[in-house]
Amino acid sequence: MAQERILVTGAGGFIGHHLVNFLKKRGYWVRGVDIKAPEFAPTQADEFLLLDLRRWENCLVATKNIDELYALAADMGGMGFISANHSQILHNNLLINLHTLEAARSNGVKRYLFTSSACVYPEYKQTEASVLPLKEEDAYPAQPQDAYGWEKLVVEQLCTHYHNEHPIETRIVRFHNIFGPLGTWDGGREKAPAALCRKIAVAKLTGDPEIAIWGDGEQTRSFCYIDDCTTGIYKLMHSQYRQPLNLGQDRLVTINQLADIIADIAGITIKKKHIAGPQGVRGRNSDNTRLRQVLDWEPRVSLEEGLAQTYQWIESQVKIKMAEEAKTVE
């Protein structure tokens, strides 16, 4: 039997890079495509193409001779970036996904997994910190908070229509705050766990215990470790389930609690300084009932375990950056 050929778009990014490694360990031939190479470690892909998937002709090249496609390419970042770049995000991500899906169909790709987001859920269901876990059907009536969520919702519909009208199997996963090592941790596109790990590492290494937190820190989220994410999407790709499916932990924590857990891992006491800044919805949690039913599985890595791995890596990155900055000053 011929070796299955897999395409991972967004393979230069955080989740895409980890997914390539996951698939290589399972014996697949993997092509990675992105507008940039992975930043923190070399790719393990058999072939890595630097292509801008906003362009139709590049999508045709990327999807040629491919059996299964994991669509992770996106213009995205943390809440600071998402809340300030609506037109850019909607424009770029629609182009990427419209072209990639049609190119996949045109080139005979058999299976296509689209990575959606918990950002599709309506703002009116996420106004309280003690939010009820969000079920998949809660996405409608639709009212995502931002353009990032609207684009994801449109492409979910597109995937469903493609499956109904063309010989391509589509799968849709809704990520809930994936985190881990080898992800963006500085520069404005990082998400809350990475940002807090960086701030607390700086506090530890400089001896200044004050860290800034946007808002009152009582906004809530659930966070899912990267190893559970890659396992989950692989299982979904090879399941028979064609509707959108949540993938996240269902343990709700406040941002203040998240900071305290990381500070404990770092072995320091912090002082929180609450400042104005984008906070997103007040509360968001994943209902994993259907995930357990469909995959007979759920995320297994605890928040503490995942944060310990993530903090250790980010602290090492902060040390390198501080050493480089010290050399520049000399």
CA angle at 217 for the pair 216 and 222, rounded to the nearest 5°: 150
What is the predicted pLDDT for the residue at 134? Answer: 97
Radius of gyration of the chain (CA): 20
What's the CATH code of the domain at 38? 3.40.50.720
Q: Is residue 253 part of a domain?
A: no
Q: Is residue 200 part of a domain?
A: no
Dihedral angle of Cα 241, 246, 251, 253, to the nearest 10 degrees: 170
**Which letter, b or e, does each residue of 271-283 get, where b requires 16 or more Cβ atoms within 10 Å of its Cβ?**
ebeeeeeebbbbb
Q: Is residue 29 part of a domain?
A: yes
Q: To the nearest 5 percent, what fractions of the chain are helix, strand and coil?
A: 45, 20, 40
Distances (CA, A) of 126 to 22, 140, 246, 289: 33, 13, 16, 19
- Asked if 176 and 222 count as a contact pair (C-beta separation under 8 A), the reply is yes
What six digits make up the tokens of 298?
Answer: 């759920």
Question: What domain range is 231 assigned to?
Answer: 5-179+224-247
- Tell the burial category of 6 from Cβ atoms under 10 Å away from its Cβ (0-12, 13-18, 19+): buried
Place of tokens 């299982």: 235
Distances (CA, A) of 148 to 79, 87, 266, 320: 10, 9, 33, 33
What is the predicted pLDDT for the residue at 277? Answer: 87
Catalytic residues: 148
Q: Which residues contact 204 (CB under 8 A, 6 or more apart)?
A: 266, 267, 268, 315
126/114 Cα distance (integer angstroms) = 24
pLDDT tens series, the chain, 330 aa: 678 999 999 999 999 999 999 999 999 999 999 999 999 999 999 999 999 999 999 999 999 999 999 999 999 877 888 888 999 999 999 999 999 999 999 999 999 999 999 999 999 999 999 999 999 999 999 999 899 999 999 999 999 999 999 999 999 999 999 999 999 999 888 899 999 999 999 999 999 999 999 999 999 999 999 999 999 999 999 999 999 999 999 999 999 999 999 999 999 999 999 999 888 889 999 999 999 999 999 999 999 999 999 999 999 999 999 999 988 876
Q: Is residue 22 part of a domain?
A: yes
Q: Is residue 280 part of a domain?
A: no
pTM for this predicted structure: 0.95
Distances (CA, A) of 330 to 207, 212, 318, 324: 21, 29, 18, 10
Task: Look at the chain and report how many structural domains it folds into.
Answer: 1
What is the predicted pLDDT for the residue at 77? Answer: 79
Q: Is residue 294 part of a domain?
A: no
Instruction: Evaluate the CA torsion angle 82, 258, 13, 187 in order and state its sign.
Output: positive
What is the predicted pLDDT for the residue at 2? Answer: 74
Q: Is residue 107 part of a domain?
A: yes
Q: Is residue 214 part of a domain?
A: no
What is the predicted pLDDT for the residue at 1? Answer: 61
